[in-house]
Amino acid sequence: MPATGPARSEPTALLEKLGVHLDPELLVLALTHRSFAHEAGGIPTNERLEFLGDTVLGLVVTEALYRRHPDKPEGELAKMRAATVSQRSLAAVARRLELGSYVLLGKGEMRTRGFDKDSILSDTVEALLGATYLSHGLEVSRELVHRLVDETLDQAADLGAGLDWKTSLQEAAALRGFGAPVYSVTGEGPEHARRFEAHVTAGPVIGIGQGTAKKHAEQAAAEQAYRAIAEIPVGA
């Protein structure tokens, strides 16, 4: 059975989650992926808004890091910015918003679960930021960026570029002499709505995570294990 995707959600409900008001036409444009636009006869896509939103996001995040970490060198700030605005971290923001149920996708992208692809989700977050900037200017956009990524900004100070919990867990385990983490993943449910659960063991620590893809479940498990292993003193 092909993936039918999540039930289509009313776009205006998304505005309540974002905490901003957007003109209905601009909101729909921000949610229009090129696959949908192509099937609809070549209507405008959200790519120009994505281009604008990417710049707004980069500016706000760069300013925040500059002010929060006055003693960090440029190279460290650049790594933290890369982590915060990475495709993976923006896709995580999108999943918290359940953005996949709002994006307008073509039939082909729906069949291949485009509603859960990191690339599409992260691009749509940027398009929404671009639309917010056009509607309200920089100050409201800054507030929205902080609501969406402040948690990621805090994590970036510890994890560096990519926000890769698996890599961070591996490094933390090796530092304590525990060896490489071991993962096991199980899945259940129909193909179009499959859920995965991952377990990871790293020395004395066990992490468990869930997600709509194996890699998401493994990252969630690695995050839980990393937070636990970080409490163990090095050399203990």
Catalytically annotated residues: 54, 126
Closest CA to 160 of 78, 69, 55, 45: 78
Distance CA 114, CA 44 (A): 19
CA angle centred on 157, ends 227 and 149, rounded to 5°: 90
Distance CA 9, CA 50 (A): 21
Amino acid at position 122, single letter: S
Owner of token pair 């560096």: 160
Distance CA 217, CA 232 (A): 24
Taking each helix axis from N to C end, the angle separating 214-229 and 165-175, rounded to the nearest 10 degrees, works out to 40
CB atoms within 10 A of CB 201: 17
CB atoms within 10 A of CB 78: 14
Burial of 70 (0-12, 13-18, 19+ CB in 10 A): exposed
